[in-house]
Amino acid sequence: MKITALAGGVGGAKLAHGLAHVLPPEDLTIIVNTGDDFEHLGLSICPDLDTVCYTLAGLANSETGWGRAGETWNTIANIERLGGPAWFRLGDQDIATHLERTRRLKEGQSLSSITREFCQAWGIQPTVLPMTDAPVRTMVNTNEGELAFQEYFVHRRCEPIVKGFRFDGVTEAKPAPGVREALDTADAVIFCPSNPWVSIDPILSVVKKITKPVIAVSPIIGGKAVKGPAAKMYTELGIEPSALAVAKHYRTTLAGFVLDTTDRESEAQIIALSIKTQVTDTLMNHLTERVRLANDVLHFIGSL
């Protein structure tokens, strides 16, 4: 079964990791959000792409869900000592990724081509694609005005109250080479349990149309996000955070929806939206849970 998965960082990377253990590499393509990308300390940083790649390569820090395992922090500590900006924590190994990516981008290589070569170097076999090679930047409209995504997310720790989102540059951005083909040749498209507003929506705003059956996995369990501001965003936008709210968010696109056992009581309401459902354990702390959920999702797709 050929699968194309859409992913943000932490939640997306976990399911992508499970899928990579279950599917032959030629049958799995992961399209990653680049709306979180930004330029910082002169470096081009792609947080979601790096989280997905580090996770697939077994290089990720399993405690934080982002960054590298066994990381040291000498560079950022010395930048801070010199009075430079240290709010975005960059480890020494991680900085090597950003330095080398920035060097290649400056030489004119595309982000998708750099990502392909980094994946080879890290021994990652499934195809990992940025959603676009063009700069698309998620902007967060808040009670304090419009903020660039990392300014809102990391610098301001998601404190400002969210009023909406804008994906700057999206009108000019084309899907990266391979993205359209991966979506059109897949048997099914999986929306990983990523933040609907700022991880999946930016990808959808670039790719626009998906013609193959879409199955989403809920990032909201028991009304809460496992990590990050997804539930807070729902509340601030006037929607009660729940698996049902996520299903409604994707409503027009969905063939199937995977929700956590905790949210079983919402199943009937989701079925009433003409969406098929599967109820299972969706928390993925360890590889065994990621593989089990990946298998569950693939069986569900097979049954549709």
- Interacting residues toward ligand GDP by CB under 6 A: 7-12, 14, 36, 48, 51, 193-195, 199, 217-219, 221, 225-228, 230, 282-284
**Can you tell me whether residue 45 is helix, strand or coil?**
strand
Q: How far is the CB of 23 from ligand GDP (least distance, A)?
A: 19
Pick the closer one to ligand GDP by CB: 116 or 224: 224
Alpha carbon of residue 36 to chain centroid: 9
**b or e along 65-96 (b: 16 or more beta carbons within 10 Å of the residue's beta carbon)?**
bbbbeebebebbeeeeeeeeebebebbeebbe
- Sheet architecture: strand order including 3-7: 127-130, 28-32, 3-7, 188-191, 214-217, 254-260, 276-280
Nearer to ligand GDP, 101 or 249 (CB): 249
**Tokens representing residue 241 in the block:** 């955070």
Nearer to ligand GDP, 194 or 266 (CB): 194
CB of 81 to ligand GDP, least distance (A): 28
* Gap between the Cα atoms of 244 and 52, Å rounded: 26
DSSP per-residue letters across 211-274: -S-EEEE-SEETTEESSSSHHHHHHHTT---SHHHHHHHHGGGEEEEEEEGGGGGGHHHHHTTT
Nearer to ligand GDP, 10 or 28 (CB): 10
Q: How far is the CB of 19 from ligand GDP (least distance, A)?
A: 14
Measured from the CB of residue 162, what is the shortest distance to ligand GDP in angstroms? Answer: 14
Q: Which is nearer to ligand GDP, 130 or 193 (CB)?
A: 193
Which of residues 58 and 84 has its CB atom nearest to ligand GDP in the complex? 58
For residue 108, the minimal CB distance to ligand GDP (Å) is 28
- Are the C-beta atoms of 137 and 146 separated by less than 8 Å? no
Least distance CB 181 / ligand GDP (angstroms): 23
The residue among 67 and 175 lying less far from ligand GDP, judged by its C-beta, is 67
Q: How far is the CB of 163 from ligand GDP (least distance, A)?
A: 19
Residue recorded with tokens 């079964």: 1
Residue 190 phi/psi, 5-degree rounding, is -105, 130
The amino acid occupying position 89 is R
